[in-house]
Structure 1
Amino acid sequence: MITGIVITLNESKNIVECIQSLQQVCSEIIIVDSNSTDNTIALAEKLGAKTITQSYLGDGFQKNVGLDYASNDWVLSLDADERLTDEVVNTIKTLDLTKTEHDAFAFRRRNYIGSRWIKQCGWYPDYCIRLFNRKKTKFSEVKQHASVQAKNPERLNADLIHYSFENLGQLFSKPGRDFSGRAAKIMYQKGKKANAFSPFAHGLNAFIRKYIFQRGFLGGTDGMTVALSSAINSYLKYAKLLEYQRDPKVLENENFNKVW
């Protein structure tokens, strides 16, 4: 028996398909919602999901909230824009979770822009642990880019689908995707420093890594755009950190108690 857990904020476009996807292998679904103002909760409850309201704590903290409410030891955690493929469903159904020596299982993830599967820039195979025993492991308690801290995971030969962005423009403008601002605040709070060369150096390094070493050049316009997005995000992260260090007015007006 498996419990499906999804964290949400205004996911009315995604939540129905996400829950229906999970229901193929899960006996219960838990939605941890951070104060949605659309009908996400109503849609989830109509499909039989249990809903919990929790103001957003940051990625890892939020994803761990639902663990205490789960009836089953095994948890399948998805983001609202992720889906199980038939391949994943069939693979999970073959697992004997009562006898396995593993504390978690990872799946490959296909990341999409629109209907286009992006295979370069490190976007595939992008292994992610999504199925795990909550009595043995959980997500790292970090506010950004959390992962399950399993000691003995196994990689499975099956793909999840991740509808990352509706179009190329969302790479730069997707609502709530201020990764650079959040990261800059976190780095500043940890006492990290930047100099005048940091934004350019980190931005250039991010572009070279994505476009050259992770073969973004094979992805045409999409590969170039993903590499540029990564470079801009990295540049801005260090530019914002540098701004906090050198501009007292900006620092004074920033609310570091509200990273999210």
Structure 2
Amino acid sequence: MEYTRTNKLSVLIITLNEEAHMHELLSDLDFADEVIVVDSYSKDRTKDISTSFKNVRFLEHTFENYTAQRNFAIDQARNNWILFIDADERLTPELKEEIIQTVNSDTDVSAFLFYRKFFFKKRILHFSGWQTDRIFRLFKKDKARYTYRRLVHEKLDVEGKVDIFKNKLIHYSYSDYQSYKGKMIAYGKLKAKEKLFIGFKPTFIHYYGHPIYTFLYQYLIRLGILDGKKGIIICYLNALSVKARYRELKRLKF
């Protein structure tokens, strides 16, 4: 399909061993003026799949943390409009059209937040703390940068106006237990480095109370209980990430 564009758009993707997602994701990015994949030296077929698409620039860059990797990707983009998308995320036709219309407009908004619709093994996860999740995905390169105060769950510093898209981004966050568990533990370890950097000193309550609080808050207050077995698993693994954070922080300090 041909898309008329008055302003050019760069789509950025950071990857590590994402062969299960790459073909479907890249096949749906025909509206972009350029697609850049920044890979952390994957051991699977991520590179082969990515380079089979003519509009994709595939770059390998050593992973330090999510913030540094995203900022590196931004620096490679030729265009001012940036769309970041993770390998396990998908655009609906309605969201794609909203992105195209926005990029083609003369908007004075610097960055746009997207709500996400989470899927658990291809079934929608309605609650468990994810129902109000939103994240920056579309922004102007000259108006935004990821802050180095965050190493994971990156924070975009924006100069100017912020708005929210109407249509939701699809997020296939949970494919199987082991991969999601590994992701949560990795996130926890990066959060530990954040805490160490600011001189945070955890107490007994942090080590033992915070993981329990996280589970109960997401399961009861954030209604994970209504997601059934899926809710128990997600809330438990999110609490495990908190536990991994303080375990890693203790290791780093001592």
> What residue number does 1:248 align with?
none
1:209 counterpart letter in structure 2: Y
Q: State how far apart, in whole Å, the 1-side matches of 2:75 and 2:250 are.
A: 40
1:184 equivalent among 192, 211, 232: 192
Classify the secondary structure of the residue corresponding to 1:138: strand
Q: TM-score, normalised by structure 2?
A: 0.87
CA, structure 1 residues 215+82, in 2 after alignment: closer, same or farther (shift >3 Å)? same
1:148 equivalent among 133, 152, 156: 156
> What residue number does 1:254 align with?
none
Q: State how far apart, in whole Å, the 2-side matches of 1:243 and 1:46 are.
A: 43
1:156 counterpart letter in structure 2: F
Q: State how far apart, in whole Å, the 1-side matches of 2:156 and 2:29 are.
A: 19
Q: TM-score, normalised by structure 1?
A: 0.85
1:17 counterpart letter in structure 2: E
Q: State how far apart, in whole Å, the 2-side matches of 1:209 and 1:122 are.
A: 9
Q: State how far apart, in whole Å, the 2-side matches of 1:89 and 1:55 are.
A: 31
2:220 equivalent among 212, 220, 227: 212
> What residue number does 2:120 align with?
113
Classify the secondary structure of the residue corresponding to 1:109: strand
Deviations 1:31-90 (A, max 9, x none): 111112222122212112011221012111101112222221101101111111112112
Q: State how far apart, in whole Å, the 2-side matches of 1:96 and 1:238 are.
A: 42
Q: State how far apart, in whole Å, the 2-side matches of 1:2 and 1:219 are.
A: 37
Classify the secondary structure of the residue corresponding to 1:103: strand
> What residue number does 2:203 align with?
195
CA, structure 1 residues 105+97, in 2 after alignment: closer, same or farther (shift >3 Å)? farther
1:241 counterpart letter in structure 2: L
CA, structure 1 residues 197+242, in 2 after alignment: closer, same or farther (shift >3 Å)? farther
2:128 counterpart letter in structure 1: C
State the 1:185 CA deviation: 3.7
- Please list every run of 5 or more consecutive structure 1 residues that lacks an aligned counterpart in the other structure: 246-250, 252-260
1:1-260 correspondence to structure 2 within 5 Å: 1-23=8-30, 25-48=31-54, 49-95=56-102, 97-141=104-148, 142-150=150-158, 151-174=160-183, 177-242=185-250, 244-245=252-253, 251=254
| Preserved CA contact (<8 Å) 2:218 2:235 | yes
Q: State how far apart, in whole Å, the 1-side matches of 2:23 and 2:48 are.
A: 10
Deviations 1:10-43 (A, max 9, x none): 21111121212222x3111011111122221222
State the 1:3 CA deviation: 0.7
Identity rate of aligned residues, in percent?
A: 27
RMSD: 2.0
Classify the secondary structure of the residue corresponding to 1:22: coil
Classify the secondary structure of the residue corresponding to 2:19: coil
| Preserved CA contact (<8 Å) 1:110 1:125 | no
| Preserved CA contact (<8 Å) 2:185 2:240 | no
State the 1:100 CA deviation: 0.2
> Runs in 1 of length 4+ with deviation above 3 angstroms?
168-171, 242-245
CA, structure 1 residues 124+224, in 2 after alignment: closer, same or farther (shift >3 Å)? same
Classify the secondary structure of the residue corresponding to 1:93: helix
Deviations 1:125-173 (A, max 9, x none): 4111111100111222332110322241111110111111213444324
| Preserved CA contact (<8 Å) 1:109 1:159 | yes
> What residue number does 2:5 align with?
none
> What residue number does 1:255 align with?
none
Q: State how far apart, in whole Å, the 2-side matches of 1:220 and 1:171 are.
A: 18
Q: State how far apart, in whole Å, the 2-side matches of 1:9 and 1:92 are.
A: 26
